[in-house]
Amino acid sequence: MSDAPTPPVSILLVEDDPVARRYFARIINGDDRLNLVDDVGTAEAAIAALGDHNPDLLVTDIGLPDGSGIDIIRALKEMNPKSEALVITVFDDERHVIDAIEAGATGYVLKDSAPEDITATIFELLDGGSPISPSIARYLLRRFSDAPSRPAGDDEARTSEGIEDLTTRELEILELVAKGFNYGEIAGSLDISRHTVTTHVKNLYRKLSVHSRTEAVFEAVQMGLISLK
């Protein structure tokens, strides 16, 4: 008896530019592994679509006529923390990048550097990667490397607790996540299964109180668990 086929990944597309929205929708619809459940152009319509479809993946712009894609990411994560969010936008400033990541975005791609076939970016994210435009990645690395240590006090106790809680294997995986490895590459590097990697990453998220790979790396650097230098 053969295994049941894997259901397609459900995607909600949010883009206010009709031309760009049709373009992205056509590419997504061209891949049988993906299911575009809806494509909308406003934040209000996006919030409603989240409730209607509970998508596996949100692909969203940030600048919308009636709000921000960042608010949609927050709503997605509140509804289903396991869902992923990919930002495709023109905004490359610090505030938008950090706000999107803190809201739960796993990928952040600038429109002028987005590949013609965004399905490659989508599957990189679904495979455990964090697709980020090179200029954004360089900015984040500089920010992490230059981040000051947490002040002594309550945070110091939290840091000690975090170090005690993380296993050797979890620290190894955290280091590889920080280097940009996806889940498949981590599994191959450590000679473990992808399922085992996923389990360790979920434990890392819980222990570090984060919801994305980028947040995990940022917290780990702040807590002195890893170094990007």
**Residue 87: which of 78, 98, 79 has the closest Cα?**
98
pLDDT at 90: 93
What confidence tier does 155 reach under pLDDT thresholds 50, 70, 90? very low
Superfamily for 9-143?
Response regulator (3.40.50.2300)
Domain borders along the chain are 9-143, 152-222
Beta strands in the chain (DSSP E): 9-14, 34-40, 57-60, 63-64, 67-68, 84-89, 107-110
Global confidence as pTM:
0.70
Three-state DSSP class for 87?
A: strand
Q: What mean pLDDT comes out for the span 198-206?
A: 86
List 58's β-bridge partners, or say none: 12, 85
pLDDT at 127: 82
Q: What is the CATH number of domain 152-222?
A: 1.10.10.10
Q: Which residue has the tokens 């994560």?
A: 77
Residues 6+ apart with CB under 8 A from 61: 14, 15, 16, 17, 20, 69, 87, 88, 89
pLDDT digits (tens, 9 = 90+) for 42-80: 999 999 999 999 999 999 999 999 999 999 999 999 999
Three-state DSSP class for 188?
A: helix
pLDDT score of 105 more than 80: yes
Name the average pLDDT for the chain.
Answer: 84
* Residue 188, CA atoms < 13 Å, CB-side half-sphere: 5
pLDDT digits (tens, 9 = 90+) for 15-42: 999 999 999 999 999 999 999 999 999 9
DSSP track, 133-170: -HHHHHHHHHHHHHPPPPPSSHHHHHHHHHHHHS-HHH
pLDDT at 116: 72
Q: What mean pLDDT comes out for the span 76-94?
A: 93
